Structure 1
Amino acid sequence: MLTLRTSPASPFGRKVKIAACELDLLDRIEIVAADTTDPKDTLRAQNPLGKIPALVLEDGSTLFDSRVIAEYLDHLAGGGLIPPGEARFAQLRLQALADGICDAALLQVYEGRFRTPEMRNAAWVENQAGKVARALATLEAAPPAWSGKPRIGEIALACALGYLDLRFDGTWRAAHPKLVAWLDDFAARVPSFETTRFKG
């Protein structure tokens, strides 16, 4: 049995869970909550970076970073998530863009959560918000087309948009109608997007 260390609200953990569902591997994975702020959590022994998600393999070794975990799951399933050839790089590029949205969004959340008001840096927060805005504008201009089962890039994008809904009250939606339609279509075609949604 594989063990996935993550938290319910993590967009990166959600990406791995949706990937596992799409690859029919979820029944081989035990999901165990992790607290990245707790020095007593065994996560730090499993991943020296103390970050989630982390996938503990059956031999006790650990893979970390959602991109590495997704590629491993794709390997286990014999493919389907990451296409071969040139299409691979289009998917990896989309995944990198979506993950970058999540990174910048998380940093904004952490600035408000972990810094007292007098320590917050408005210019730094604005810089992170700019990354998100530029990425969304790029995606709104040309939303990714896909058919059949979603691949890693589409999964990563759906999780990034879902995270913006969760932590920023969906304010991105007003200026990005094509992406809203894209996400609605994704949610309708991929049931695991709803089942992995954080409802807390």
Structure 2
Amino acid sequence: MMILRSTPPSPFGRKVKLAASVLGLSGEIKIEAADTNDDKDSLRQQNPVGKIPVLVLEDGTTLFDSRVILEYLDHRAGGGKIIPKEAAARFAALRLQALADGATDAQILVLYEGRWRSPEHHSAKWLDYQNDKIARALAALETTPPSLDAMPNVGQIAVACFLGHRDLRFAGDWRAKHPKLVAWLDRFAAQVPAFASTKVAA
């Protein structure tokens, strides 16, 4: 059995869980908590940079980050499932994933600024820089909402996790100005039951 090292609130760990669910692989993965702040946690041996998620394969090989893990899960499921084989569709899905992951990374950096630095040392310029990335991503997605495949692709899964993370950590502040995205996420949640089952209470 594979082992997923992650934490319940991690949007990137959630990506892996959603991908495993839509691919029918959830039963082959055991979830193990990881503490990125604990230098004694084996996470740092499994991934030298100490980031989650990490997927530990049956032979002990470790895979990271979420994009690599999703590609492996797609391969394990036979290929061409959540990463299309046809070039145009493939690169559209990978591009969408890059957009959503980049915006999620920016959100995490905003959180870390508040979590690790005292208020008097917060950098307004740095926060504005990150928040502008998020705002531009939301605007782009609202202007052209993603499609939703019968089996969601890596880009669509990543967008759902980005928006879910926004709901969790920023009280859903994106919703009022992005009605098309709200409707899209509702459709995704209805199609992918694991989206609800992986939700973490704020």
Q: TM-score, normalised by structure 1?
A: 0.98
SS in 1 for 2:135: helix
SS in 2 for 1:15: helix
Match of 2:171 in 1: 169
Deviations 1:91-116 (A, max 9, x none): 00000000011100000001001111
User: Could you tell me how far apart the structure 1 residues matched to 2:129 and 2:200 are?
Assistant: 27
User: Could you tell me how far apart the structure 2 residues matched to 1:27 and 1:56 are?
Assistant: 15
Match of 1:98 in 2: 100
Q: How does 1:1-200 map to 2 (within 5 A)?
A: 1-79=1-79, 80-85=81-86, 86-199=88-201
User: Could you tell me how far apart the structure 1 residues matched to 2:150 and 2:64 are?
Assistant: 28
1:199 deviation in Å?
2.3
What amino acid sits opposite 2:63 in the alignment? L
User: Could you tell me how far apart the structure 2 residues matched to 1:199 and 1:35 are?
Assistant: 19
1:83 deviation in Å?
0.5
What amino acid sits opposite 1:81 in the alignment? I
SS in 2 for 1:128: helix
What amino acid sits opposite 1:69 in the alignment? I
SS in 2 for 1:37: coil
Deviations 1:161-190 (A, max 9, x none): 000000000001111010011001111111
User: Could you tell me how far apart the structure 1 residues matched to 2:22 and 2:38 are?
Assistant: 32
1:198 deviation in Å?
1.2
User: Could you tell me how far apart the structure 2 residues matched to 1:87 and 1:13 are?
Assistant: 24
1:118 deviation in Å?
1.6
Question: How many residue pairs are counted as aligned between the two chains?
Answer: 200
Runs of 4+ in 1 over 3 A off after TM superposition: none
Deviations 1:105-164 (A, max 9, x none): 000001001111122111101100000000110010010112312111111000000000
User: Could you tell me how far apart the structure 1 residues matched to 2:148 and 2:34 are?
Assistant: 33
SS in 2 for 1:32: strand
User: Could you tell me how far apart the structure 1 residues matched to 2:70 and 2:47 are?
Assistant: 16
Alpha-carbon RMSD: 0.8
Q: TM-score, normalised by structure 2?
A: 0.97
User: Could you tell me how far apart the structure 1 residues matched to 2:37 and 2:57 are?
Assistant: 23
Deviations 1:56-85 (A, max 9, x none): 111111101000000000000002111012
What amino acid sits opposite 1:97 in the alignment? L
Does structure 1 conserve the Cα–Cα contact (< 8 Å) formed by 2:56 and 2:62?
yes
SS in 1 for 2:164: helix
User: Could you tell me how far apart the structure 2 residues matched to 1:147 and 1:24 are?
Assistant: 16
User: Could you tell me how far apart the structure 2 residues matched to 1:145 and 1:77 are?
Assistant: 22
Query: Tell me, which stretches of 5 or more residues in structure 2 are unaligned?
Result: none
